[in-house]
Amino acid sequence: MRSTASNDTTPRSDALFGPEAGPAAERIACLAEFMTAERYGVLRGSVAMRTRYMTVLAENMYHGQNAAALIRHCDAFGVQQMHTVETMCRFQPNPVIARGSERWVDVERHASTPEAISALRAAGYRIVATTPHREDVTPETFDVAKGPFALIFGTEHAGISDEAIAAADEFLRIPMCGLVESLNVSASAAILIYELSTRVRQTVDGWQLPIGEQAALMERWMRRSVKDADAILQRRLGSAK
């Protein structure tokens, strides 16, 4: 669903990267010649809005529709990386629903929940379990400025695992006004990722990727968008690396 105020809400920028971006800057400038200005602007603007300050961990999400919705939410709201645990099933987004969003979001796969949580903690993330069964914080009261955080979403029927509950630093729930006690995982993820990513950008300094990471990501996206990108770089710059 797009904003009713505009037919296209994707941020745009025609800015090229400078020397501070390192060797990727030259390759980006080269590939930009083989891309429309509009396409370059969409990619450049989207890179500038990406964040790793928050991330998502999906535990054994076996419905392809929900997997696709989750990765699409991450793309739509600028979350660059998500994590998966696949002890029971593979994380396989339905391509019809994902609409290519899996090309733009990095997915790191883990063999188990403890392994995933250990890796996230080592990277400096708070572990935040999303569940309607624990009283802790809501999207409005969650302290986004306290430090980077990872939202855990569980299986479609059982919710998050006991291992995730035991390891969680905080519990996050969406308050209900009706008779149902929870939303499905896709709807919950959409609300939480949108609400919290918006608050991160409004209140947290340094939420953006460092300029070097932005350039590296931009180059990777451009290589996927420009036909024969490696051959072009080899011919123009003498190397594709």
Determine the longest span between alpha carbons in the chain, in angstroms. 65
Instruction: For residues 142 and 19, give the distance between their C-alpha atoms in angstroms, rounded to a whole number.
Output: 38
Give the chain's radius of gyration (CA, Å): 19
Please give the mean pLDDT across all residues of the chain: 87
The string of pLDDT tens digits covering residues 181-206 is: 667 888 899 999 999 999 999 999 99
The string of pLDDT tens digits covering residues 98-139 is: 777 888 999 999 999 999 999 999 999 999 998 766 668 899
Instruction: State the average pLDDT over residues 15-31.
Output: 88
pLDDT band at 63 (very low <50, low <70, confident <90, very high): confident
Question: Three-state DSSP class for 43?
Answer: helix
The string of pLDDT tens digits covering residues 210-229 is: 999 999 999 999 999 999 99
Question: Is residue 83 over pLDDT 90?
Answer: yes
Residues 231, 107, 77: CA angle, nearest 5 degrees = 100
